Amino acid sequence: MHIPDGFINGGVSAGAAVVAAGGLGATLKRAGQVLDERRVPLAGLAAAFIFAVQMLNFPVASGTSGHLLGGALAAILLGPSVGAVCVSVVLLVQALLFADGGLSALGLNILNMALITAFAGYLAFVGLRRVLPARPGSVVVASGVAAGLSVVLSSVAFAAQYAIGGAGGASVGTVFGAMVGVHVLIGIGEGIITGLVVGAVLASRPDLVFGARDLDLVVGARDLDQGPAAAPAAVRAEVRS
Protein backbone atom coordinates (compact mmCIF):
# COMPACT_ATOMS: atom_id res chain seq x y z
CA MET A 1 0.00 0.00 0.00
CA HIS A 2 3.02 2.27 -0.39
CA ILE A 3 1.77 5.48 -2.02
CA PRO A 4 4.14 6.68 -4.76
CA ASP A 5 4.75 10.31 -5.64
CA GLY A 6 1.94 11.83 -7.66
CA PHE A 7 -1.16 9.94 -6.48
CA ILE A 8 -2.07 12.55 -3.85
CA ASN A 9 -1.51 16.27 -4.41
CA GLY A 10 1.17 18.33 -2.71
CA GLY A 11 -1.11 20.08 -0.26
CA VAL A 12 -2.63 16.92 1.18
CA SER A 13 0.78 15.21 1.18
CA ALA A 14 2.31 18.14 3.08
CA GLY A 15 -0.61 18.20 5.52
CA ALA A 16 -0.19 14.48 6.13
CA ALA A 17 3.55 14.99 6.63
CA VAL A 18 2.84 17.55 9.36
CA VAL A 19 0.33 15.23 11.07
CA ALA A 20 2.70 12.26 10.75
CA ALA A 21 5.64 14.26 12.11
CA GLY A 22 3.56 15.37 15.09
CA GLY A 23 2.30 11.86 15.70
CA LEU A 24 5.75 10.38 15.35
CA GLY A 25 7.22 12.97 17.71
CA ALA A 26 4.62 12.08 20.33
CA THR A 27 5.14 8.33 19.90
CA LEU A 28 8.94 8.74 20.11
CA LYS A 29 8.57 10.65 23.35
CA ARG A 30 6.21 8.03 24.74
CA ALA A 31 8.49 5.23 23.53
CA GLY A 32 11.40 6.81 25.40
CA GLN A 33 9.35 6.82 28.59
CA VAL A 34 8.03 3.24 28.40
CA LEU A 35 10.99 1.41 26.87
CA ASP A 36 12.90 -0.90 29.14
CA GLU A 37 16.37 -2.14 28.30
CA ARG A 38 15.19 -5.38 26.79
CA ARG A 39 12.69 -3.85 24.41
CA VAL A 40 15.44 -1.85 22.65
CA PRO A 41 16.84 -4.86 20.72
CA LEU A 42 13.33 -6.32 20.48
CA ALA A 43 12.15 -3.18 18.69
CA GLY A 44 15.06 -3.55 16.28
CA LEU A 45 14.12 -7.19 15.72
CA ALA A 46 10.44 -6.38 15.18
CA ALA A 47 11.31 -3.69 12.62
CA ALA A 48 13.77 -5.97 10.79
CA PHE A 49 11.27 -8.84 10.78
CA ILE A 50 8.46 -6.63 9.47
CA PHE A 51 10.79 -5.31 6.77
CA ALA A 52 11.51 -8.89 5.67
CA VAL A 53 7.88 -10.02 5.71
CA GLN A 54 6.76 -6.87 3.86
CA MET A 55 8.86 -8.14 0.93
CA LEU A 56 6.80 -11.33 0.76
CA ASN A 57 3.92 -10.32 -1.48
CA PHE A 58 1.25 -13.02 -1.56
CA PRO A 59 -1.37 -13.34 -4.30
CA VAL A 60 -4.86 -12.25 -3.19
CA ALA A 61 -6.83 -12.21 -6.44
CA SER A 62 -6.03 -12.60 -10.09
CA GLY A 63 -3.30 -10.12 -10.95
CA THR A 64 -3.17 -8.63 -7.46
CA SER A 65 -0.89 -9.17 -4.49
CA GLY A 66 -0.67 -7.93 -0.94
CA HIS A 67 1.84 -7.95 1.87
CA LEU A 68 1.94 -7.58 5.62
CA LEU A 69 1.79 -4.02 6.96
CA GLY A 70 2.81 -5.08 10.45
CA GLY A 71 1.61 -2.09 12.47
CA ALA A 72 -0.83 -4.11 14.56
CA LEU A 73 1.74 -6.89 14.99
CA ALA A 74 4.40 -4.47 16.25
CA ALA A 75 1.88 -2.77 18.55
CA ILE A 76 0.75 -6.06 20.10
CA LEU A 77 4.35 -7.23 20.62
CA LEU A 78 5.81 -3.91 21.86
CA GLY A 79 2.97 -1.49 22.64
CA PRO A 80 1.46 0.93 20.12
CA SER A 81 4.01 3.76 20.50
CA VAL A 82 7.09 1.61 20.09
CA GLY A 83 5.29 -0.38 17.40
CA ALA A 84 4.40 2.73 15.39
CA VAL A 85 8.02 3.88 15.53
CA CYS A 86 9.23 0.45 14.34
CA VAL A 87 7.01 0.48 11.24
CA SER A 88 7.92 4.13 10.56
CA VAL A 89 11.59 3.10 10.45
CA VAL A 90 10.69 0.32 8.00
CA LEU A 91 8.89 2.84 5.76
CA LEU A 92 11.79 5.27 5.97
CA VAL A 93 14.33 2.60 4.97
CA GLN A 94 12.07 1.46 2.12
CA ALA A 95 11.62 4.99 0.76
CA LEU A 96 15.26 6.07 1.08
CA LEU A 97 17.13 2.86 0.28
CA PHE A 98 14.78 0.98 -2.04
CA ALA A 99 12.78 3.81 -3.66
CA ASP A 100 9.56 2.15 -2.43
CA GLY A 101 6.95 4.72 -1.41
CA GLY A 102 7.30 8.27 -2.70
CA LEU A 103 9.40 10.79 -0.79
CA SER A 104 6.59 13.36 -1.01
CA ALA A 105 4.18 10.64 0.21
CA LEU A 106 6.29 9.59 3.21
CA GLY A 107 3.99 11.43 5.63
CA LEU A 108 0.93 9.79 4.07
CA ASN A 109 2.56 6.38 4.25
CA ILE A 110 3.67 6.78 7.86
CA LEU A 111 0.18 7.98 8.78
CA ASN A 112 -1.62 5.14 6.97
CA MET A 113 0.72 2.22 7.50
CA ALA A 114 2.42 2.96 10.83
CA LEU A 115 0.35 5.28 13.02
CA ILE A 116 -3.17 4.19 12.02
CA THR A 117 -2.37 0.47 11.91
CA ALA A 118 -0.50 0.51 15.23
CA PHE A 119 -2.98 2.58 17.24
CA ALA A 120 -6.27 1.50 15.67
CA GLY A 121 -5.01 -2.07 15.51
CA TYR A 122 -4.03 -1.97 19.17
CA LEU A 123 -7.37 -0.45 20.21
CA ALA A 124 -9.22 -3.19 18.33
CA PHE A 125 -6.95 -5.76 19.96
CA VAL A 126 -7.67 -4.39 23.46
CA GLY A 127 -11.40 -4.34 22.72
CA LEU A 128 -11.37 -7.94 21.55
CA ARG A 129 -9.28 -9.05 24.54
CA ARG A 130 -11.97 -7.58 26.85
CA VAL A 131 -14.71 -9.77 25.39
CA LEU A 132 -12.61 -12.92 24.97
CA PRO A 133 -11.52 -15.23 27.80
CA ALA A 134 -8.18 -14.33 29.43
CA ARG A 135 -5.94 -16.97 27.93
CA PRO A 136 -3.16 -17.15 25.34
CA GLY A 137 -5.44 -18.50 22.59
CA SER A 138 -7.56 -15.36 22.85
CA VAL A 139 -4.45 -13.21 22.38
CA VAL A 140 -3.75 -14.99 19.08
CA VAL A 141 -7.35 -14.63 17.86
CA ALA A 142 -7.58 -10.98 18.91
CA SER A 143 -4.22 -10.27 17.24
CA GLY A 144 -5.32 -11.75 13.93
CA VAL A 145 -8.70 -10.04 13.81
CA ALA A 146 -7.31 -6.66 14.93
CA ALA A 147 -4.51 -6.86 12.36
CA GLY A 148 -6.99 -7.60 9.58
CA LEU A 149 -9.14 -4.64 10.64
CA SER A 150 -6.10 -2.36 10.74
CA VAL A 151 -5.38 -3.05 7.06
CA VAL A 152 -8.96 -2.21 6.05
CA LEU A 153 -8.78 1.01 8.09
CA SER A 154 -5.52 1.90 6.41
CA SER A 155 -7.17 1.48 3.00
CA VAL A 156 -10.08 3.68 4.12
CA ALA A 157 -7.54 6.33 5.12
CA PHE A 158 -6.08 6.25 1.62
CA ALA A 159 -9.55 6.55 0.08
CA ALA A 160 -10.21 9.60 2.27
CA GLN A 161 -6.91 11.18 1.21
CA TYR A 162 -7.74 10.43 -2.41
CA ALA A 163 -11.12 12.07 -1.94
CA ILE A 164 -9.46 15.27 -0.71
CA GLY A 165 -6.49 15.47 -3.03
CA GLY A 166 -6.28 12.53 -5.42
CA ALA A 167 -4.87 12.78 -8.92
CA GLY A 168 -6.25 11.24 -12.10
CA GLY A 169 -9.91 12.05 -11.59
CA ALA A 170 -11.21 8.63 -10.54
CA SER A 171 -14.54 8.68 -8.72
CA VAL A 172 -14.19 8.64 -4.95
CA GLY A 173 -16.83 5.94 -4.60
CA THR A 174 -15.00 3.67 -7.03
CA VAL A 175 -11.66 4.14 -5.26
CA PHE A 176 -13.24 3.62 -1.83
CA GLY A 177 -15.05 0.44 -2.87
CA ALA A 178 -12.07 -1.01 -4.70
CA MET A 179 -9.58 -0.18 -1.93
CA VAL A 180 -11.75 -1.67 0.83
CA GLY A 181 -12.63 -4.70 -1.29
CA VAL A 182 -9.07 -5.71 -2.08
CA HIS A 183 -7.80 -4.84 1.41
CA VAL A 184 -10.35 -7.07 3.07
CA LEU A 185 -8.57 -9.90 1.23
CA ILE A 186 -5.11 -8.58 2.10
CA GLY A 187 -6.34 -8.11 5.68
CA ILE A 188 -7.13 -11.81 5.90
CA GLY A 189 -3.50 -12.53 5.00
CA GLU A 190 -2.34 -9.91 7.51
CA GLY A 191 -4.51 -11.52 10.19
CA ILE A 192 -3.17 -15.02 9.52
CA ILE A 193 0.49 -13.89 9.53
CA THR A 194 -0.01 -11.75 12.65
CA GLY A 195 -1.78 -14.58 14.51
CA LEU A 196 0.99 -17.03 13.57
CA VAL A 197 3.79 -14.69 14.68
CA VAL A 198 2.11 -13.71 17.95
CA GLY A 199 1.39 -17.41 18.58
CA ALA A 200 5.04 -18.31 17.93
CA VAL A 201 6.31 -15.62 20.33
CA LEU A 202 3.75 -16.71 22.96
CA ALA A 203 5.00 -20.28 22.60
CA SER A 204 8.68 -19.38 22.92
CA ARG A 205 8.77 -16.25 25.09
CA PRO A 206 5.27 -15.32 26.30
CA ASP A 207 6.69 -12.66 28.64
CA LEU A 208 7.82 -10.66 25.59
CA VAL A 209 4.30 -10.08 24.23
CA PHE A 210 3.20 -6.62 25.40
CA GLY A 211 -0.45 -7.35 24.64
CA ALA A 212 -0.40 -10.47 26.85
CA ARG A 213 1.39 -8.99 29.86
CA ASP A 214 -1.79 -9.14 31.95
CA LEU A 215 -1.69 -12.93 31.73
CA ASP A 216 1.63 -13.05 33.63
CA LEU A 217 3.12 -15.74 31.42
CA VAL A 218 6.61 -15.58 32.90
CA VAL A 219 7.17 -19.13 34.17
CA GLY A 220 10.82 -20.15 34.21
CA ALA A 221 12.20 -16.87 32.94
CA ARG A 222 14.27 -16.53 36.11
CA ASP A 223 16.60 -19.37 35.17
CA LEU A 224 17.14 -18.16 31.67
CA ASP A 225 18.11 -14.54 31.76
CA GLN A 226 20.86 -13.19 33.95
CA GLY A 227 20.05 -9.63 32.91
CA PRO A 228 18.57 -7.21 35.43
CA ALA A 229 15.38 -6.99 33.41
CA ALA A 230 14.58 -10.55 34.43
CA ALA A 231 14.63 -9.79 38.14
CA PRO A 232 11.16 -8.31 38.64
CA ALA A 233 9.58 -11.15 36.67
CA ALA A 234 11.40 -13.70 38.79
CA VAL A 235 10.30 -11.96 41.97
CA ARG A 236 6.70 -11.93 40.86
CA ALA A 237 6.85 -15.59 39.89
CA GLU A 238 8.18 -16.38 43.36
CA VAL A 239 5.49 -14.39 45.12
CA ARG A 240 2.80 -16.31 43.30
CA SER A 241 4.22 -19.77 43.93
Q: Which is nearer to another protein, 56 or 164 (CB)?
A: 56
What ranges make up the beta strands (E) of 100-208?
none
Nearer to another protein, 18 or 34 (CB): 34
3-state secondary structure of 205: coil
191: contact with another protein by CB under 8 A: no
Total number of residues that touch another protein (CB under 8 A): 106
Cβ closer to another protein: 182 or 192? 182
Decide: residue 12, CB within 10 A, 0-12 exposed, 13-18 middle, 19+ buried: buried
Which residue among 17, 23, 51, 73 contacts another protein (CB under 8 A)? 51
Q: Catalogue the E-assigned strands of the chain.
A: 58-61, 64-66
Beta bridge partner(s), residue 61: 64
User: Would you count residue 46 as binding another protein (CB under 8 A)?
Assistant: yes
Q: Which long-range contacts (CB under 8 A, 24 or more apart) does 205-209 make?
A: 206/136, 207/233, 208/38, 208/42, 208/77, 209/76, 209/77, 209/139
Binding characters for another protein, 193-222, by CB under 8 A (x = yes): ----------xxxxxx-x--xx--x-xxx-
- Applying CB under 8 A, the span of 12-20, 40-48, 141-149 interacting with another protein comes to 40-48
Binders of another protein among residues 93 to 122 (CB under 8 A) are 93-100, 102-103, 119, 122
Residue 193, SS3 per DSSP: helix
- In the complex, minimum distance from the CB of residue 169 to another protein, in angstroms, rounded to a whole number: 7
Assess 33 for contact with another protein (CB under 8 A): yes
Site for another protein in 132-171 (CB under 8 A): 155, 158, 166-171
Residue 144 neighbours by CB distance under 10 Å: 26
Q: Which amino acid is at 197?
A: V
Q: Is 119 exposed, middle or buried (0-12, 13-18, 19+ CB in 10 A)?
A: buried
Cα–chain center distance at 16: 18
Q: How far is the CB of 52 from another protein (least distance, A)?
A: 4
CB closer to another protein, 11 vs 59: 59
Q: Which of 12, 42, 106, 139 binds another protein (CB under 8 A)?
A: 42
